[in-house]
Structure 1
């Protein structure tokens, strides 16, 4: 079934409101058409010298009354219709943003931010213009043209009316000829705007790297080229619009020429009076604006088709990650995790990111994951969060297939500290309390203390009310990590995941944070990903991922007894950092013996 354009959905939803706006506008147009009748009587009275001074005052009074009536009804109709267009804009942006919220993270890896901005701003604005100027001018044209032609033919001369209207069907032909090019060039303009917006966003994000590598000139060249393409696309659209408008005006001018020539002949032959001739040309002047506007509306609707197509393509995209049929109506998750024969491959990828993973994490136990970059650590976490869908019957939580659990319950039951610590451009307090639940100030302060960032925050003049810059760049890397930890800790979730979340802090700070975390997350299932052995050696179980497979697993002590990947990592890190045994986090007697033996 073919879907209706987005504007049509809005129009039919508010059809009675549009009808009221149309009635108000039509009443102003009806009053406007009384003016030629007054001019006709006045002109004939002047010609036959039957006009009196009192008639002049009466005519002036009528013009004032009509002007006030036209003003009241036209402005009321205009306000009413324009208000509906703003509602369309609001609803479209809300609908678009709401749909974006449902789409998986993978969607945003393939979409440029500039394109998303173009959808939310330019495409929606075009549809708003259709709901505003498009609807207003269409109603005006339909009502004014139909009534005016009826008055011209019925009260003055039908043959002169037909003769004057003869060139006007040419506007329909012009609209047909230009419709494809206008739609195509409009689409190119929107794409060009998306490209330029992406370039600006990338420049702002990477400004430090650009300046560090002295690439300002190269970036200017790239922007100039893409901005030139934007100008070129706009020139093509302007050329088509201008040609259409010029040809339209030429056709209207031809109608005026026919009116003057043949209307004058009819006056001289006595077929129509001078007053009727004046009234006829006044009627014709009323036709010029709506006919020209009708051409503009046709252009606008062509642009709207392109914008509507782009928006509907976005809204038609179905989220892969969603609650499936037959979900289990659980109210809480306890935290036991079992993984059975899990193999996972990304779309458009030749190899597997994970291969035959088998793993059990008891409720309240801790699992540490180590491995080189690209070994599959973050992929495993993303599958647990259902950022990507794992194959069925591979991941179970509390003996339920993870895909049978309500998505909202799953994610609210996991406190997650990502590898890339993203903070929003709001206050520190709002970033820590970023959760559907409401948290009191003392809970926020407690979470900050658990993450050992409380003192840092209190050193700012505004404390927890300090407003952060975009993506939290006003904080150091370590501070961002600790605020992210506080954001996860405040949730009190039964499952905690830390994805290399202490890489930007020094070893002593890391030791203090881990000591606190061990106490606070006791009884909760925890997964810790790290490149530092010091971070994870107290975990109940440690697995080493290599090329998507579990290469080794065991406790810290048992893995050191093997001559495997884990022991090599430990030796390399011990060579890189010379640490006293007393300062080593999670130091044990075996660690001390190994350090003494190596020294």
Structure 2
């Protein structure tokens, strides 16, 4: 969602609640002005020895009433205004999450998780503080300054007020001088927090690798370095903030000094009464707190501006993959007829194309297998089919429609993909298998798990399908994660099924069982299988071999073997590897048998 200004937009949307909150704060501020007047009258009567007991009681009662009124209206206004800040925090964080959901995969490839977490927590927290403390203090200070100065001029002495207020404009100059420094240091501090968050996230995600390679000491050094950097950036900010606060307090203290000295002289010369002197200094006391807070608000506003700039950069980032203007919104189903014409594709900022002149036809209900070396462009091809990236117009077609004319929700809703990384969420197995907008019954979840050959593993867990998985499904083995990912793809019964090297972590026996179980699922569905094992792809209707982004061989299993090219070479190598493994297994079994016989003879 495009935004011009987070703060101003929030105020415009909630103008009436802010007006009500300001009105409540105004009542509280006006009530505070009664205290100097009451103290002034009380002092004059006390000096003139005209104060009676009844009047003392009356003054005390008035002070109590005014104090209760101030407390009530001030606390009510704070609750009212602070609630608005919490609403803004919730809205900005929600809008941020929704905007992230719209952004393309390429955006997240270029971002650190720690930075994203810092935006969602730290930056949004600063936005809340600005609208909570900043707006409240600005409103209170502005109101009290205006009304107090008017009261001091009209009820005490205009010249005393003028001379006392003369040092205060220096606060504006001071704020101006510190403005840029505080903002830059705030940005540095937020970046340091992002770096530290990224370090912790990376460490926790890779804890098994760290321990396996005995890198605890090195990781501790890296963390200490980032931690120290964050402390240093905070210290810089605190030093500037403290210096600004000290200088502000010095200016305010000088105004008090002028008030006491000049006001005392005017009392001695009978220009003002002692009660007016007390009232004036009480006005000044009421005034100085908000004025000092304005200094803190300046710092907070600079932090808020820095955080707003960081968030606005995200909100202004537009997704690379969106529905085109030509998208036919009435297309809600796809049959699965795929055609690729002269497709050449390059990733952003890539030096050379990843895919070069790809031409393919995959009829509806047929199966396509893609094999090739690592980095040959196999996964890139299927990422274009699910529109993780935009293919050039006029190159990828589904059911005769350019894929960019089909709504994203239809493309992704009708394609089931089992990705390479087998990402699982840290919820239950049931939730991971049934990860889809529409709900699935327990019977459907069980059936999908059986087809994926993971049912027997699941029922061995104490909580079975309600077993909570760890971060990224770490509590499951690699093979189990793959099979849960397969179950998640097939349960939605899509028109197109894509398996991106989805059987690499299972043994050949389980692979055969999965492929046998998938026959019923793949029936009448377009299926694309990326694999390295010939055994997992040889039954496909057509097989393409990719190398350096190009299709170098194409045909079915028998045709490719007769061609005696890359595919045949892969096939024969894998046969030799299997034969070597079989012989190693036989030798191992024979050695084990001899050892057992020797033990029995002894």
Do the two structures share a fold, i.e. TM-score over 0.5?
yes
Aligned to 1:62: 62
Aligned to 1:305: 305
Aligned to 2:147: 147
Query: For structure 1, which segment, 273-282 or 323-332, has the greater mean C-alpha deviation from structure 2 after superposition?
Result: 323-332
Q: Deviations over 1:206-228 (max 9, x none)?
A: 11111111111111111111111
For residues 7 and 469 of structure 2, the distance between their equivalents in structure 1, rounded to whole angstroms, comes to 39
Cα offset, 1:492, TM superposition: 0.5
Q: Within 5 Å, which residues of 2 pair with 1:374-523?
A: 374-523=375-524
For residues 33 and 167 of structure 1, the distance between their equivalents in structure 2, rounded to whole angstroms, comes to 22
Cα offset, 1:156, TM superposition: 0.4
Query: For structure 1, which segment, 228-237 or 77-86, has the greater mean C-alpha deviation from structure 2 after superposition?
Result: 228-237
DSSP 3-state at the match of 2:20? helix
Aligned to 1:335: 336
DSSP 3-state at the match of 2:439? coil
Aligned to 2:232: 232
DSSP 3-state at the match of 2:379? helix
DSSP 3-state at the match of 1:324? coil
Aligned to 1:80: 80
Q: Deviations over 1:12-59 (max 9, x none)?
A: 110110110011111011111101111111111111111111111111
1:90 aligns with 2:84: no
Aligned to 1:568: 569
Aligned to 1:137: 137
Show structure 1 runs of 5+ residues with no match.
582-599
Aligned to 1:547: 548
1:289 aligns with 2:279: no
DSSP 3-state at the match of 2:128? helix
Query: For structure 1, which segment, 340-349 or 527-536, has the greater mean C-alpha deviation from structure 2 after superposition?
Result: 340-349
DSSP 3-state at the match of 1:561? helix
Where has structure 1 moved over 2 Å in runs of 4 or more?
2-5, 578-581
Cα offset, 1:506, TM superposition: 0.8
Aligned to 2:526: 525
For residues 46 and 171 of structure 1, the distance between their equivalents in structure 2, rounded to whole angstroms, comes to 37
Aligned to 1:166: 166
Query: For structure 1, which segment, 284-293 or 4-13, has the greater mean C-alpha deviation from structure 2 after superposition?
Result: 4-13
Q: How many residues align?
A: 580
Cα offset, 1:5, TM superposition: 2.2
Aligned to 1:71: 71
Q: Check conservation: 2:152, 2:161, Cα contact below 8 A.
A: yes
Q: CA RMSD in A?
A: 1.2
Aligned to 2:16: 16
Q: Deviations over 1:277-297 (max 9, x none)?
A: 000000000011100001111
Q: Within 5 Å, which residues of 2 pair with 1:207-222?
A: 207-222=207-222
Cα offset, 1:580, TM superposition: 11
Cα offset, 1:578, TM superposition: 2.5
Aligned to 2:362: 361
Cα offset, 1:399, TM superposition: 0.2
Aligned to 2:593: none
Aligned to 1:352: 353
Aligned to 1:590: none
DSSP 3-state at the match of 1:553? strand
Aligned to 1:223: 223
For residues 9 and 369 of structure 1, the distance between their equivalents in structure 2, rounded to whole angstroms, comes to 51
Cα offset, 1:345, TM superposition: 1.0
Cα offset, 1:445, TM superposition: 1.0
Cα offset, 1:3, TM superposition: 6.3
Q: Deviations over 1:345-382 (max 9, x none)?
A: 11111121111111000000000000010011000000
Could you tell me the TM-score, scaled by structure 2's length? Answer: 0.95
DSSP 3-state at the match of 1:356? strand
1:124 aligns with 2:128: no
